[in-house]
């Protein structure tokens, strides 16, 4: 593939309403947009979806910016990249920082697909033209109102953010509002071994799954819970790489895995995890990060793969933002989202608005071994 420049933009997008979890509240979304360009003017886009503070993983927008500007981009001149998957092999020596890596690799996947004049879905081997949409409900005071609004759009799975000890109250409130609604809860690692009896008591609600009850990396406690629980355990923060997914499955730590492109280091790793899970009978779904339409388009291409059987955190452009940086925005229609068919990620970036929300930018000339 051909690459001449990489442009980085740090942007801030206002949220329509604060997004609240037990870890904190987000009122604006800071993101990094990565643009890979070739000498013919084709541009591929990726997105770094780390948060401004390290409450989800240790990465932040600031640390990712440093890694991109001072480590990853300078190293590209030493790389031999003929296919986007070659990037992952070239940066294995860089410990951690999966979100910075994923943003840059995503731009390469988009550019490569555009150079081939085919969709990213086709490049990845996706089989679905539409994917099922799921929504995340934050800890808000407008739960009933939010549910009814999302039901009108046909969302097919709801994820509840919960606080330790208050799960029953929220679950019962939702089930009272919508008795047949498929729901799961997201714990974000807030429980300890002493909470296992309490978590087992939630089996009575018939949840789709409990996501990440224990801290990331604790495969033992998740395995202990899954052996006793009727409710499937899903791992999120614990799966930071392909190796983590293999370890989780071999230790029987879960029955479901949430694959987030940014959390596992990029599309190459995400597809490897998908393939391994498929061969071992473990269901997967695509997680979201309160991201822009660029990242959503990448997610849609990934979720078109065969083993993404559970509706993911795949929402429309107006779910979180008054205005997205793509046009037209992504829409949920009768609970589904169409996977873009155009070259690359298949969506057009709103260059004017992107410029308006940019607070910092850097451009680098790339002179690696590309073809």
Superfamily designation of domain 123-348: Enolase-like C-terminal domain (3.20.20.120)
Query: Are 90 and 75 in contact, with CB atoms under 8 Å apart?
Result: yes
Whether the CA torsion 320, 121, 36, 59 is positive or negative: it is: positive
Residue with tokens 């009933």: 144
- What the block records as the tokens of 37 is 């360009």
| Residue carrying the six token digits 């008795």 | 179
Is the pLDDT at 97 greater than 80? The verdict is yes
Domain ranges of the chain: 5-117+351-370, 123-348
Instruction: Assign 20 a pLDDT band (cuts: 50, 70, 90).
Output: low
Which pLDDT belongs to residue 167? 92
The predicted pLDDT at position 59 comes to 97
Report pLDDT for 370.
62
- Identify the pLDDT of residue 22: 55
- Taking residues 130-146, what's their average pLDDT? 80
User: pLDDT above 90 covers what percent of the chain?
Assistant: 77
Catalytic residue among 10, 43, 114, 260: 260
| 69 CB neighbour count, 10 Å cutoff | 14
Is there a contact between 90 and 83 (Cβ–Cβ < 8 Å)? no
Please state, in angstroms and rounded to a whole number, the distance separating the CA atoms of residues 340 and 347: 7
> Is residue 217 a contact partner of residue 238, using CB atoms and an 8 Å limit?
yes
CATH code of domain 5-117+351-370: 3.30.390.10
Largest Cα–Cα distance in the chain?
61
- The whole model's pTM is what? 0.93
Percent of the chain beyond pLDDT 70?
95
Instruction: Note the pLDDT of residue 263.
Output: 97
Q: Is the pLDDT of residue 177 over 60?
A: yes
Catalytic residue among 43, 114, 161, 271: 161
Per the DSSP assignment, residues forming a β-bridge with 47 are 33
What band does 141 get if pLDDT is binned at 50, 70 and 90? Answer: low
pLDDT tens sequence across 330-366: 999 989 999 999 999 999 999 999 999 999 999 999 8
260 as an active site residue: the answer is yes
Average pLDDT of the chain to the nearest whole number: 93
Under DSSP, the state recorded for 129 is S
- pLDDT of 21: 61
pLDDT in tens, 249-283: 999 999 999 999 999 999 999 999 999 999 999 99
Q: What sections of the chain are H helices per DSSP?
A: 61-67, 73-75, 85-90, 98-116, 120-124, 143-152, 167-177, 196-201, 219-228, 242-250, 261-264, 267-279, 293-303, 351-357
Residue 368: predicted pLDDT: 59
């Amino acid at each position: 593939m051909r690459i001449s420049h990489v442009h980085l933009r740090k942007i801030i997008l206002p949220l329509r309403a604060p997004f609240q979890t037990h870890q904190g509240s987000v009122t604006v979304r800071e993101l990094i947009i990565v643009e890979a360009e070739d000498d013919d003017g084709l541009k591929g886009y990726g997105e770094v979806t780390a948060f401004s503070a390290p409450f989800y993983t240790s990465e932040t927008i600031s640390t990712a910016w440093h890694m991109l500007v001072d480590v990853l981009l300078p190293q590209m001149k030493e790389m031999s990249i003929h296919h986007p998957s070659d990037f992952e092999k070239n940066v294995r020596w860089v410990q951690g920082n999966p979100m910075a890596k994923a943003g840059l690799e995503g731009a390469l996947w988009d550019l490569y697909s555009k150079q081939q004049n085919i969709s990213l879905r086709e490049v990845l081997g996706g089989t679905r033209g539409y994917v099922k949409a799921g929504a995340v409900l934050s800890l808000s005071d407008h739960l009933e109102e939010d549910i009814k609004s999302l039901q009108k759009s046909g969302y097919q799975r709801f994820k509840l953010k919960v606080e330790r000890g208050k799960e029953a109250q929220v679950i019962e409130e939702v089930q009272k509002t919508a008795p047949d609604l498929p729901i799961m809860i997201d714990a974000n690692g807030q429980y300890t071994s002493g909470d296992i009896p309490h978590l087992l008591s939630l089996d009575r609600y018939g949840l789709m799954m409990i996501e990440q009850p224990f801290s990331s990396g604790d495969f033992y406690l998740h395995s202990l819970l899954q052996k006793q629980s009727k409710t499937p355990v899903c791992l999120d923060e614990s799966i930071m790489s392909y190796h983590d997914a293999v370890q989780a499955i071999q230790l029987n730590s879960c029955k479901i895995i949430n694959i987030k492109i940014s959390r596992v280091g990029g599309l190459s790793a995400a597809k490897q995890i998908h393939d391994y899970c498929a061969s071992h009978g473990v269901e997967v779904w695509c997680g979201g990060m309160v991201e822009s339409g660029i990242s959503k388009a990448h997610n849609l291409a990934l979720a078109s793969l065969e083993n993404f059987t559970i509706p993911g955190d795949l929402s429309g452009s107006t779910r979180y933002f008054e205005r997205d940086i793509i046009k037209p925005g992504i829409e949920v229609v009768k609970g589904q989202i169409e996977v873009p068919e155009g070259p690359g990620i298949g969506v057009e970036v709103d260059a004017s608005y992107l410029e308006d929300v940019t607070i910092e930018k850097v451009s680098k000339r790339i002179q690696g071994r590309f073809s």
